[in-house]
Structures are given as C-alpha cells and as structure tokens.
Amino acid sequence: GENVEQHPSTLSVQEGDSAVIKCTYSDSASNYFPWYKQELGKRPQLIIDIRSNVGEKKDQRIAVTLNKTAKHFSLHITETQPEDSAVYFCAARDFGNEKLTFGTGTRLTIIP
Amino acid sequence: DGGITQSPKYLFRKEGQNVTLSCEQNLNHDAMYWYRQDPGQGLRLIYYSQIVNDFQKGDIAEGYSVSREKKESFPLTVTSAQKNPTAFYLCASSMNGERQPQHFGDGTRLSIL
C-alpha cells in the first residue's frame, strides 16, 4: 500500500518568514495530494490540494508543489502569521481508490 | 464543514463495554470514513464506506465495527476487543470519484474509565 513520509515533525519560524513542509510518497500511481491544517482539539481542515496533472498550485500565501518523478510534494507558506500555528498533515490518494494515506504531521509554531 | 456532525464530543468507556460513536452528514456525500488519531501520529483509517450497505476495512479495523444503513449515517462501535481505545476519533465524508476532497467532523475523544 501507499506510504507517506512527512518532514519535519516540528518547525518554528519567525513571524513573516516562510515555512516549508515536505512529503514523499511511495506509490507512483497516486494522483491526488491534499494538505490539512489542524488546530488544537479541532477538526482537520483542507487548505489546499493538488492533482497529479499539475506541478504547482497557489492560494494567496499558500502554495503546493508536486514532483511526480521524485514522488514528493511540498507545502509553502509565505509571510507567516501567528494564526498559521497548527499541525499540518499531507496525504496521498491511490489511483482508483477512495483511501487517503496521511503523513504523521508537522507542528508549525510561528514566533512573534 | 458544518454538515458533518459527530457525537458525543467526549465519551468514556468502562472495561468490557462496547460504545458507539455517531457520525451524521447532510452534504449528500456518497463516501464516509472513520479515522483514529493518536498523539504524534497521523490519521489512521479504521473503516470506510463508498455506498449504502457496503463498507471496507481500513488499516486498523480490529476491535471496531461499523454499519451503513443510511447514506447520511456511519456509526462506529468500539468493542471490548479494542484493548487500547483511548484516542481522538474523526469521521469524514466525500463525494465518490477520484480526487474528491474529504471533509471532517469535529471529532469524539474517547477515554477509558
């Protein structure tokens, strides 16, 4: 089955700086890669996703890049703000399968 | 994501007891999922259902059971066979079809008395 690895497990950045979280996946047939943000004790919320036919997608301060050859994808947050502090999860979905496989999460802390 | 309702928010289980977690959605989504979340770990899939009256085991199904009698509802029973049930349980739903996003409920925190 699919295996997703996520790094780093914790990340602290100064407010206003950029943050990058990286994930690798094992199944080359995977074709959908969402990112979720989870604040303490709350539900994960979808913040951005990318399909395998696209190399990059941006939404204001958030962007995701996908390298299918290397089987990795990354989340980029620019001009970080205190409200960006949360745990971020990446995930990958197999082709023809409804299942998502999640990474183990990155705890992002923005330092004021 | 207000269309996915999980109850109760907190639940306590005694030794040898089965407990049932509720998940209801009014988004007309075809597929529903149950995940378990432990500290420092990602979300692990327990069971999922793509259509009424059908469901499949996920990666950690042992000690759990589900039913899908209605499109809107996908209850999860944590049985006494699950020896380490303390966790945060999340229900999600999505439309069927590739690359459809999953949306989550607020979760149920289950603890052992």
**Which residues of B fall within a CB distance of 8 Å from A87?**
none
Whether B13 has its CB under 8 Å from any CB of chain A: the answer is: no
What pLDDT shows up at residue A63?
A: 98
Q: In this structure, what token pair is assigned to residue B64?
A: 């759990």
Residue partners of B67: CB distance under 8 A and separation at least 6: B55, B74, B75
Alpha-carbon dihedral sign for residues A37, B75, B54, A4: positive
Q: Mean pLDDT lowest for which of A70-74, B25-29, B38-42, B91-95?
A: B38-42
CB-based contact A99 B90, cutoff 8 Å: no
Whether A96 has its CB under 8 Å from any CB of chain B: the answer is: yes
DSSP state for residue A26 in the 8-state scheme: S
The span from the CA of B87 to the CA of B68, in Å, is 23
Give the residues across from A111 on adjacent strands. Answer: A14
Question: Over the stretch A12-48, which tens digit does the pLDDT of each residue have?
Answer: 999 999 999 999 999 988 989 999 999 988 899 999 9
Picking from A31, A42, A89, the nearest residue to B43 by CB comes out as: A89
Which of B41, B98, B103, B110 is most worth mutating to test chain A (most A CB atoms within 10 A of its CB)?
B98
Closest CA to A80 of A41, A52, A108, A47: A108
Question: Over the stretch A36-89, which tens digit does the pLDDT of each residue have?
Answer: 999 988 899 999 999 888 899 999 999 999 999 999 999 999 999 999 999 999
Q: Assess whether pLDDT exceeds 70 at residue B98.
A: no
The span from the CA of A104 to the CA of B43, in Å, is 7
